[in-house]
Structure 1
Amino acid sequence: MPDSTRHVLPDVTLSAGPKPKHQQLREILEEYCASQLSPGDMLPGERVLEDTYQVSRITVRRAIGDLVASGRLTRERGKGTFVAPNPLVSRLHLASFSSEMQAQDVSASSQILLSERATPPAAVQEYFGGEPGEAHIHLRRLRLGDGRPYSIDDAWYNAHLAPNLLENDVYNSVYTILEESYGLAISDADQIVTAIPADQSSAALLEVPLASPLLRIVRHSRAEDRPLEWCDSVYRTDRYHLRTKVTRALDL
């Protein structure tokens, strides 16, 4: 892990003016994180901050607490306080995880947790159509940004449309493979977004405490009118944000 001791804290004197000292310190630390530290770097300890800025432990903890609450910093029990990873912001348009990460200058990678041809759950089978009991392609991946876990994708793909999908490099964008190798560009999808608690498996993979809130997105994707993908994903809420623009409906 990077050593933040090589960085020099800003040489600023906190004033006794109308702005509270904890707010002044918070702004100093926010600028310090943005200009000198990178995601994953450790913040100097509380005692160092107290001595540097001549403030109380309460002032330091309140400034740090505000930055943790805003998502700028993250605490790890028994280790310290660190600069939080930049959250991936999705604007609810059709794009692969890899392309969304690339657009925000984050390096995307994957760990394959499962890859097989198997009989899917009944809801997936009904969506794909065909005969009951037919095997389709099952791919479960841990999605990483700059080496840190962001999400788990548990996806099924229609084997009638992409029969040998798993023979490709599915560590990277499956959407790119589907389009370039099979001529299947995802054209539209239905999504359902909910919140769920992390179970033991997802908590361990995503490196969050058990029962932490996760964002769950179930997506049914199509290539034109052909059902192609059923994907059930869970995301760390501190590393994935949804953003959408809404307009007022016209009164009828």
Structure 2
Amino acid sequence: MGTTQLETVPEPKYLHLKTVLSEALDSEFSVGEILPNERDLAARFGVARATLRQALEQLELEGRLQRRRGVGTTVAPPRVGVALGTGRQTWPGTGDDAWQPMDCERAVPPAPVAAALDTGTDEVHLVRRFRMSQGRRVATELLYIPAASVPDLSAIDAPSGPARARAVLRELQRLELDRQDRAVELGSAGAEDAKELDRLPGSPVLVVTTRFTVRGRTAALGVATYRADTCRLTFGDTPDVEIHHDPERRAS
């Protein structure tokens, strides 16, 4: 790596440095590669370490970098595409579903979920799943499934765990799905989600709520929490469209 000095620019120095660093990531580093330490980077670009940290923090928020305990700052893999509005109607756990079941238990859902499912204070099946990408957990999901949607579970022996979760999803797939509707909002990670996703509490997340409808009633409700720094939303039937960080490049 050569030496590059920043010229005087009208924008804040850390924002200009972020642009310069982003170009260096595209041209000089590969996914998973560890960046030089802060002292060396600050010397290369002729900035104070405080300015460098601001730029690195911005790149981390944008998902270009990730900081790993005991490893350092590495180049992050591409973001995971979260497909929305494609018209594809499928039950969770069907086909090439990227989610992995973690657990299943009976629980009374939060009041807003109970109202959406029209279950009152009755317990529902709560399926917990997670999604991995490039060896890291990028999302967790809670699936709330009323007992009425999976009435034949009494013959299944597994009381909890991944086996129970898979059994619940198999029974759910016996129903004829009318439609699924999704809503997305930006949120902040609570203590439990932060622990599951290896983020600090309050870190930005994308919350995707999916309602599965059968014969005009809500048969299941899913609440998925994605790390905002590792995921991107996709619409339509072309999820592989990617915009390069260099604005002069074309989308591929």
Structures share fold, TM-score greater than 0.5: yes
What TM-score does the superposition give when structure 2 sets the normalisation length? 0.62
Name 1:237's counterpart in structure 2. Answer: 228
Query: Is the contact between residue 59 and residue 65 of structure 2 (CA under 8 Å) also seen in structure 1?
Result: yes
Q: CA deviation at 1:226?
A: 4.4
One of 70, 80, 105 as aligned partner of 1:116: 105
1:71 aligns with 2:63: yes
What's the TM-score once normalised by structure 1's chain length? 0.62
Question: What corresponds to 2:239 in structure 1?
Answer: none
SS, match of residue 91 in structure 1: strand
Match of 1:143 in 2: 131
2:167 and 2:177 map into 1 onto residues whose CA distance is: 12
Post-superposition offset of 1:244:
4.2
2:37 to 41, 45, 50: 45
Letter in 2 for 1:141: R
Q: Which residue of 1 aligns with 2:46?
A: 56
Structure 2 residue 199 is the aligned partner of structure 1 residue 208: yes
SS of the residue aligned with 1:196? strand
User: Which letter does structure 1 place at the counterpart of 2:128?
Assistant: R
Greater RCO, CA 8 A, separation 6+: 2
Q: Within 5 A, what are the aligned runs for 1:1-252?
A: 26-33=22-29, 37-39=30-32, 41-47=33-39, 55-58=45-48, 61=52, 64=56, 67-68=59-60, 70-76=62-68, 79-93=71-85, 94=88, 108=98, 110=100, 112=102, 114-129=103-118, 134-163=122-151, 164=153, 169=163, 178-179=172-173, 182=174, 184=175, 186-223=177-214, 225-244=216-235
Q: How many residues of Structure 1 are paired with residues of Structure 2 in the alignment? A: 219
Once the two structures are superposed, what CA deviation does each residue of 1:41-66 show, in whole Å capped at 9, x if it has no partner? 42233455578xx6535599387566
The 3-state SS of whatever aligns with 1:193 is: strand
Pairwise CA distance, 1:127: 4.1
User: Quick one: which amino acid aligns to residue 132 of structure 2?
Assistant: L
| 2: CA distance, partners of 1:86 / 1:74 | 11
- Structure 1: state its 5+ residue gaps: 1-8, 246-252
Residue type of the partner of 2:35? L
| Larger deviation, residues 62-71 vs 74-83 | 62-71
Q: Which residues of structure 2 form unaligned runs of 5+?
A: 237-252
- The code of the aligned residue for 1:56 comes to G
TM-superposed deviation, 1:187: 3.9
- Tell me, yes or no, if the aligned pair for 1:214 and 1:236 is still in contact at 8 Å: yes
State the distance in 1 between where 2:42 and 2:56 align: 12
| CA–CA separation in structure 2 for the residues paired with 1:13 and 1:77 | 28
Contact 1:189 1:222 in 2 (8 A): yes
Amino acid aligned to 2:25:
L
